[in-house]
Chains A and B, each alone.
Chain A
Amino acid sequence: MNWSWAYFFEYLVNDLMIRGAWTTIWLSVVSMVLGLGLGVVAAMFKMYGNAVLRVIAEFYIWLFRGTPVLIQLVIIYTGLPQIGIRLTVIESAIIGLALNEGAYLAEIIRAGIMSVDRGQNDAARAVGMSWRERMWLIILPQATRTIIPPLGNQFNGMLKTTSLASVISMEELMRNAQMLAQIEFRVLEVYLVAATWYLILVTIWGLIQQRIEAHYEKPFGPAAAVSPDAKKQIEKAMGAGHV
């Protein structure tokens, strides 16, 4: 069986692949948004919580950064029913990916918050803001600027990490490619099409990310770079990234 461009292009716009790509997109977005929520909460617990909350946050981050996403997904979908927790494929995929993402984002968000000058908190208190107001109006919007670039990279990673959900039969790009490969055994064509789809998604995301970053940089001007110290913190927080 030789390489066939005909099959390649046919698969590229195959219904199964397009539906798979769409699933990859929404699964990534939903998991990312939930992960962001978890990450903010975990970062808050770790930075401002009492001893109990801090330990909970530390444990969560340690657990999910310390184990492979693949194992997390398998445990959630196929392991938990043993103790009576039955989740659908979709629920398992979202929960697994979000929990894993949240653990990485917690450290990124924490580094972002720490990069905001202490004087900002003083100034916000001096104009009578409570903790919550300071956080929402002053600290987090400024932390966002440092958080956005690594957050974008995390989302890039997420688009690809969703492929692991194929092992619990989540019908995203990878899983659908596997199914398509079973039909005519055009394995190379099928998986190169899947790879192409990931490249398309990641490239489009890259363009969107540039725009978002530019938007958040605007108040600070072109000359104002994120301090090298904050950058180091964030690189440390990102560690080995996904998987």
Chain B
Amino acid sequence: MNADTADTSVASEPAKTLGEPIIVIEDVRKSFAGLEVLKGVSLTVRQSEVVVLAGRSGSGKSTLLRCIDQLEPIDSGTIRVGGELMGFREKDGKRTPLPDHLVARQMRQLGMVFQNFNLFPHLTVIDNITVSPIKVLKRKREEARAEARALLARVGLPEKENAYPRQLSGGQQQRVAIARALAMKPKVMLFDEPTSALDPEMIAEVLDVMVDLSRQGMTMIVVTHEMGFARAAADRVLLMHEGVLVEEATPEEFFTNPQSAEARVFLSKILRH
């Protein structure tokens, strides 16, 4: 009955059960004009897993996320989401790139949140969220709007539906961007430094939404240097260095007992300030 009363302070959360692999990346390579940015990246992410991807500037973190989301075509390797090969059609062992509208369909499985929010400035908040559900998924307008309102409540912005993006603070814009991505009901959410363009006082409001999302079982890959978020929400921390994943560990291990030299250098730099 009271066997575990001693450590209630630690076990505040039930252990999360991870599901089947949902993203499977094998040996992905990508070059820009002769510069190899991804040098054979392999990674498996399971259902409901939260992976934090760290690494210094230029190491290829954004490129990896953009390749997963098909914003950049890959040179070789495979990316599968829910078992489906992304970006290509495979026939008799030969690969041909998928046409634009089929890639667009695949991309709906993934939600992406950008460093600079990239909200649509000509649309109000609610239209930002509903434009794709209505025009692309052909959802009923009123239904889509009702869902958008629920999402706005979830990200803590119930009163902003008729505002234009320019009328919102950075933190508010980023939360709308998260709602916009969620409105497509993605299987996985990708975040590319979602808080690094924000004033310090706004970082928490965005991270809170993300932590919340992770608690509700969303599968997430998050590029961030917010190590507080990694501790609070990540199941795994990956370190990228010059286009290669050099370290993979639980947050606990990563911060207390990093294995690679790169991870030790990285930690010494970010923990210094």
Which residues of A are interface residues toward B (Cβ below 8 A)? 117, 119-120, 122-131, 133, 137-138, 141-142, 145, 219-221, 224
Contacts and interface: CB of A to CB of B under 8 A. Distances in A.
B103 to A, nearest CB: 8
Contact of B69 (A126, A131, A137, A220): A126
A141 B71 CA distance: 22
Contacts of B116: 119
B141 interface: no
A122 B121 contact: no
A220 B121 CA distance: 7
A129 B118 contact: no
Q: Which of under 10, 10 to 19, 20 to 34, or 35 or more describes the interface residues of B?
A: 35 or more
Given A125-B71, A137-B131, A137-B135, A131 B101 contact: yes
- Best-buried of A117, A125, A131 by chain B (most CB within 10 Å): A125
Contacts of A123: 112, 114, 118-120, 177
A127 B137 CA distance: 10
B166 A219 contact: yes
Contacts of A145: 122
Given A119-B114, A131-B100, A145-B122, A125 B107 contact: yes
Given A133-B135, A219-B166, A128 B118 contact: no
A2 B124 CA distance: 62
A71 to B, nearest CB: 40
Contacts of B164: 219-221
A119 B121 contact: no
6 contacts: A127-B131, A127-B132, A133-B135, A137-B135, A221-B166, A221-B167
Interface in B109-159: 110-112, 114, 116, 118-124, 131-132, 135-137
B104 A129 contact: yes
A196 to B, nearest CB: 39
B136 A127 contact: yes
Contacts of A221: 164, 166-167
Contacts of B112: 122-123, 126
B52 to A, nearest CB: 20
Contacts of A126: 69, 71, 107, 110-112, 114, 181
B267 interface: no
A219 B123 contact: yes
Listed from nearest, the 7 A-B pairs whose CB atoms lie closest are A128-B108, A123-B118, A126-B112, A127-B132, A119-B118, A130-B101, A130-B104
A122 B122 contact: no
Contacts of B101: 130-131
Given A128-B105, A129-B136, A142-B121, 17 more contacts: A120-B120, A122-B66, A122-B114, A123-B177, A126-B71, A126-B112, A126-B114, A127-B136, A127-B184, A130-B101, A130-B104, A131-B100, A131-B104, A137-B131, A219-B121, A219-B124, A224-B166
Nearest to B134: A137
Contacts of B107: 125-126, 128
A129 B166 contact: no
Contacts of A137: 131, 135
- Best-buried of B116, B121, B137, B181 by chain A (most CB within 10 Å): B121
B180 interface: yes
A130 B100 contact: yes
Nearest to B132: A127
Nearest to A136: B135
Contacts of B66: 122
Given A119-B116, A220-B166, A221-B164, A129 B132 contact: yes
Contact of B180 (A127, A142, A224): A127
B82 to A, nearest CB: 15
A137 B123 CA distance: 10
B106 to A, nearest CB: 8
A127 B108 CA distance: 6
